[in-house]
């Protein structure tokens, strides 16, 4: 006699598991853990059982429909249990082994070695440019032409450099997929030369001594917010990256030792960096300390002391002073210092260490934040005095 919904609902577990038969081989297995629809059949001379579903998630009507599907597969010489396993594996590949899933796993495992800003840039580029079109595909099935189509969308909006960056990110994801056994090769490697080359772009800077003096005098006469003015005055003296400057915290400043120690998590290369502070730099920090010293950031946002200064504040101030983006930008103070200090004959190793450029030796990188520190202190003070002489700032 076929089962009914009422009989299934009223079935109670007993000391031992038992079965309630339906029709065409379908039955309900009842035990202490729950109620399960099953189908026993023979395939290739072997007795097998197909798990159809758990009641009440799967109701009786749905269980019978799934039974009919299984019987049709059998009549066509297909093992329904193996077919179900194959479908499950394909679904698994589309979820756990999709490009998006692998990319997010790769991102999670690597983001600790990047700065917060760099992490945001990487995930944003994937979310905007790759995931909508390739994210759901199994990472092992993606082809080079499919990647190129996605990259062409970026190129066609004029962002050629971004297209190259996204290409590099994709390559890293595919190589991670290979390492974790979810892909056999990196199809992005086949696209070498497919994108137009990027134009070499140097950060806008000023290296003519006379024009540097004019810039320093313009900064000294800046009539905007004091926080912005002090950031502008400090930028050429410390020549750190703009993100490092605006995220400066008072707890990182040591006035007794006249140095600023930037923790590794804020640095591009993820290692601690020491910035010796010339007398002029200390003076600027002492000037702003009464205004922002009770808070976290040396240069807080004008809207909220809980946040650092906006990433566009320094550049916007330079534009207000009449300098175009092709003349000077916040990052340009680094190029300015690098160029002139090399011309003045300071040792390249000392300059590069102060610029916190990449150290190829990863073991050495972890311990070199104090490398050449006496020489760097001397250089930073000499640099500050040189800038004073150009700007005639007392």
What are residue 231's phi and psi, to 5 degrees? -65, -40
112 is catalytic: no
Q: How many CB atoms lie within 10 A of CB 168?
A: 13
118 is catalytic: no
Which CATH number, 3.20.20.190, 1.10.150.130, 1.20.1250.20, 1.10.443.10, labels domain 99-191?
1.10.150.130
Catalytic residue among 153, 175, 261, 268: 268
CA dist., res. 205 & res. 332, Å (int) = 4
Cα–Cα separations (whole angstroms), residue 251 to 222, 247, 254, 289, 377: 27, 12, 8, 12, 20
Asked if residue 20 lies in contact with residue 3, where contact means CB atoms within 8 angstroms, the answer is: yes
Tokens of 278: 């010339």
Residue identified by tokens 């004029």 is: 158
Q: Which residues of the chain have pLDDT under 50?
A: 360-366, 394
Asked if residue 70 lies in contact with residue 50, where contact means CB atoms within 8 angstroms, the answer is: yes
Q: How high is the pLDDT of residue 364?
A: 44
Judge residue 39's burial from the number of C-beta atoms within 10 Å of its C-beta, 0-12 exposed, 13-18 middle, 19 or more buried. Answer: buried
Name, in order, each residue with C-beta under 8 angstroms of 46's C-beta and a sequence gap of 6 or more. Answer: none
38 is catalytic: no
Domain 209-391 has CATH 3.40.50.970: no
Q: What residue segments make up the domains of the chain, in order of their start?
A: 5-94, 99-191, 209-391
Q: How many CB atoms lie within 10 A of CB 282?
A: 17
Catalytic residue among 334, 353, 376, 377: 334
Q: How many CB atoms lie within 10 A of CB 277?
A: 25
- Tell me the CB-side half-sphere exposure of residue 174, using CA atoms within 13 A: 22
CA dist., res. 22 & res. 59, Å (int) = 13
Residues facing residue 20 across a β-bridge = 28
CA dist., res. 112 & res. 130, Å (int) = 22
Tokens of 189: 């490697």
124 is catalytic: no
* Chain centre distance of CA 335: 26
Q: What is the DSSP letter of 202?
A: P
Tokens of 23: 């029709």
Tokens of 345: 């004959």
Nearest C-alpha neighbor of 245 from the set 281, 211, 209, 287:
281
Q: How high is the pLDDT of residue 242?
A: 92
CA dist., res. 106 & res. 83, Å (int) = 32
Q: What is 5-64 written as a DSSP string?
A: HHHHHH----SS-EEEE-STTEEEEEETTEEEEEEEEEETTEEEEEEEEEETTS-HHHHH
Catalytic residue among 241, 246, 266, 353: 241
Q: How high is the pLDDT of residue 363?
A: 42
Tokens of 123: 């995930």
CATH of domain 5-94: 3.30.160.390
- For 325, the 3-state DSSP assignment is coil
Residues facing residue 49 across a β-bridge = 40
- Strand 34-43 with 26-31, pairing: antiparallel
CA dist., res. 85 & res. 332, Å (int) = 59
Cα–Cα separations (whole angstroms), residue 208 to 10, 73, 212, 216: 91, 81, 6, 12
Q: What is the pLDDT of residues 79-108, one digit of tens each?
A: 998 998 888 877 766 677 899 999 999 999
42 is catalytic: no
Catalytic residue among 124, 217, 364, 367: 367
241 is catalytic: yes
């Amino acid at each position: 006699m076929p089962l009914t919904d009422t009989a299934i609902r009223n079935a109670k577990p007993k000391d031992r598991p038992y079965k309630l038969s339906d029709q065409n081989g379908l039955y309900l297995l009842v035990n202490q853990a729950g109620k399960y629809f099953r189908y026993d059949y023979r395939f290739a001379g072997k007795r097998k059982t197909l798990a159809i579903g758990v009641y009440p998630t799967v109701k009786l009507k749905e269980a019978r429909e799934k039974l009919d599907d299984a019987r049709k597969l059998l009549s066509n010489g297909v093992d329904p249990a193996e077919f179900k396993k194959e479908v499950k594996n394909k679904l698994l590949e589309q979820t756990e082994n999709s490009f998006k899933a692998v990319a997010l796993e790769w991102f999670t495992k690597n983001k600790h070695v990047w700065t917060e800003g760099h992490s945001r840039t990487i995930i944003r580029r994937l979310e905007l440019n790759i995931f909508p079109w390739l994210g759901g595909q199994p990472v092992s099935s993606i082809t080079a032409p499919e990647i190129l189509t996605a990259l062409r969308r970026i190129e066609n909006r004029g962002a050629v450099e971004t297209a190259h960056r996204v290409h590099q990110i994709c390559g890293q994801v595919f190589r991670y997929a290979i390492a974790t056994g979810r892909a056999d090769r990196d199809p992005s490697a086949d696209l070498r030369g497919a994108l137009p080359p990027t134009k070499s772009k140097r950060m806008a800077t000023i290296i003519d001594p006379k024009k540097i003096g004019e810039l320093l005098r313009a900064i000294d006469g800046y009539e905007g917010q004091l926080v912005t003015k002090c950031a502008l005055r400090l930028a050429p003296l410390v020549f750190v990256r703009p993100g490092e400057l605006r995220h400066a915290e008072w707890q990182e400043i040591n006035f007794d030792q006249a140095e600023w120690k930037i923790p590794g998590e804020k640095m591009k290369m993820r290692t601690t960096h020491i910035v010796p502070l010339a007398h002029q730099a200390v003076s600027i920090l002492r000037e702003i300390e009464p205004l922002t010293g009770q808070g976290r950031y040396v240069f807080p946002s004008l809207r909220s002391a809980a946040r650092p200064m906006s990433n566009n504040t320094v550049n916007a101030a330079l534009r207000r002073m009449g300098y175009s983006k092709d003349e000077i930008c916040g990052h340009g103070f680094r190029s300015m210092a690098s160029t002139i200090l090399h011309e003045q004959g300071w040792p390249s190793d000392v300059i590069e260490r102060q610029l916190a450029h990449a150290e190829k030796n990863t073991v050495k990188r972890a311990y070199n934040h104090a490398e050449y520190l006496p020489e760097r202190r001397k250089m930073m003070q000499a640099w500050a005095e040189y800038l004073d002489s150009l700007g005639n700032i007392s």
